[in-house]
Amino acid sequence: MVVAGATVIAGCGLAVVLRGSDRKGRSVVQTTSPSVRSSSAPPSKGIPLDIQYADPNGQVSGYRIEVLEVREKHYEGAVRPRLLVIGWCHLRRGENEFVVSRIETIVDPRTGEIYDKTDAIAGFLRLIASSNIATPDDRRLEGYREVARAKRDRKLILSPINATIEWRFSHGKGAPQSMRVWITAVALRLDGQAYALFAETIGRVPEERPYFINPLGSGHPEVLALEEEDNRHEGDAILRWAEKRVR
C-alpha cells in the first residue's frame, strides 16, 4: 500500500486498517470491502495483489485481494467494454468486484512491481486474465519490466553449468532454436520462484543474457526446454531445476 503519514486505526486478520494520504494528497483509509460474498477460505490459486481503490465518492481504500477473474463487461450504449476484477478480499474473507478504472495503484507482492498509471494497471490485469484479452502493447511493455526485474533479481549459482536450452522469442511464432550455453545465474521473484536463467552462448563472444521461464511479456527469449547431463526439463520442471541451483 502507498500511504503517506499513515495512522493505524484497527487490525483485522491479514489486513491492517490505516488512515493517511495517497500520492495525490487525498485521504486514504484501509477499510472493509463493500458488497462481498462470504467464503470460508481464500482461493488456492488466486494471484495476490495489493490495490488502492477509489469508491464513487473518491474515497481511496487499500485492499489485499486474490485475483480470481479479470473480464471485460459490455454495457448498452457504451463505446468500450468496462474491465472488471473479481477478487477475494482478505479483510472481509469474501469475493468482491472491482472496476479497473477506479484502481489507483497495484503492487504485485510476488515481484515488488508497482503499477500506478491507468494504462499500466489495465495492461497488467489484461495480462493475468485467463481469457486472451492482452494487447501486443501490454506484452511489449511488460517485457521491458521483466528484463529490468531480472537484472535486479539476478543471483549467481555456485559454478556455471554446461547445458543445452531450447528457446524462442516469447509469444512469437518463430521456430524454437537449440544451443549450448553456460548457465551462470538465476533470477528469483520475491516469493522465491525462479523466472529467468542467465546464460552465455558457448563458442561465441561471451555475452550473458536472460532467458525467461513462462514470461507474461514479449520481445525476449523464453526457455522451452533444458537438457543437462542427459536429463531433460520442460515446463514447471525448469522452475524446480533453477530454484535448486541457488538454494
Spell out the long-range contacts of 177-186 with Cβ–Cβ below 8 A and sequence spacing 24 or more: 183/157, 183/245, 184/156, 184/157, 184/160, 184/208, 185/154, 185/155, 185/156, 185/157, 186/154, 186/155, 186/157, 186/242, 186/243, 186/245, 186/246
Task: Give the pLDDT of residue 93.
Answer: 82
Higher per-residue pLDDT: 77 or 241: 241
Contact 183, 161 (CB under 8 A): yes
Share of the chain above pLDDT 70, in %: 81
CA distance 81 to 71: 9
pLDDT in tens, 142-180: 999 999 999 999 999 989 999 999 999 998 778 899 999
Domain ranges of the chain: 4-134, 152-244
Q: Tell me how far the alpha carbon of residue 129 is from its chain's centroid.
A: 11
Checking if the pLDDT of 3 tops 70, the result is: no
